[in-house]
Amino acid sequence: MKIGGLLKFSMIDFPGYISAIVFTQGCNIRCKYCHNPELLSVNSDTNYSEEEILFYLEKRKKCLEGLVITGGEPTLQADLKDFIIKVKAMGYKIKLDTNGTNPQVVKDLIDNNLVDFIAMDIKAPFEKYFQVCGPVDTEKVKESMSLIINSKIPYQFRTTYYKEVLNDADIEAIKAMCPDVSKFKLQECLPVTEIKPTLKLEHAI
Ligand code: SF4
């Protein structure tokens, strides 16, 4: 696993569970509002080894309940499944954050009961995806949506309200794609310059 960041403790990122968050290195799309530019390149140096993360989780398993795996885009990691198996063996619940571009990975994790919650971004109505994040195979995004909706796993779809491209009608159109609107979350798009990079602040395990 290429891991660019660790947040050691969160009460708000995994519904129902006190969790840690790992940020995987590398993303296959380029959202114009991305707040984690340090994580975009798959070739960047990583800040943590998998062993460091597993060591931390082993030490904290009495006070942490879950691990959020976010990015970057976690489904790009060739050894994601093996990593999750190791973390679940410690008793942790797993939340996966994904942009939905790798449905085959999402399906494999669902089929093998390796995820307990999935949060997937819907960047825009499909005809506007390119304007928000460049070239994306939206058929794969649709496939991931369908897999998640038809799984028995708790999930959330979420959209960042990027007002340079999206408008209220677009948000309504995205909601209309969600069979259960209570599982849709609209996120504020914060100015990138106001976001402080936190990814390297937590290195002292
Ligand atoms: S999917 Fe996430 S990490 Fe990738 S560019 Fe978009 S906001 Fe950034």
**Per residue in 63-97, pLDDT tens?**
999 999 999 999 999 999 999 999 999 999 999 99
| Closest residue CA from atom 8 of ligand 1 | 34
pLDDT attached to residue 42: 87
The structure tokens 């198996």 sit at: 85
- Does 199 have pLDDT greater than 90? no
- Rounded to 5 degrees, φ, ψ at 18 are -75, 130
74 touches ligand 1 (CB under 6 Å): no
Interval between CA 37 and ligand 1 midpoint (Å): 8
Interval between CA 108 and ligand 1 midpoint (Å): 22
Interval between CA 195 and ligand 1 midpoint (Å): 14
103 touches ligand 1 (CB under 6 Å): no
Q: What whole-number distance in Å separates Cα of residue 202 and Cα of residue 192?
A: 21
pLDDT attached to residue 192: 62
Q: What whole-number distance in Å separates Cα of residue 38 and Cα of residue 34?
A: 10
72 touches ligand 1 (CB under 6 Å): yes
Residues 6 or more apart whose CB falls under 8 angstroms from that of 113 comprise none
> Closest Cα to residue 95, out of 82, 108, 111, 84?
84
Contact 52, 19 (CB under 8 A): no
| Closest residue CA from atom 3 of ligand 1 | 72
118 touches ligand 1 (CB under 6 Å): no
pTM for the predicted model, two decimal places: 0.93
Instruction: Return the higher-pLDDT residue of 196 and 7.
Output: 7
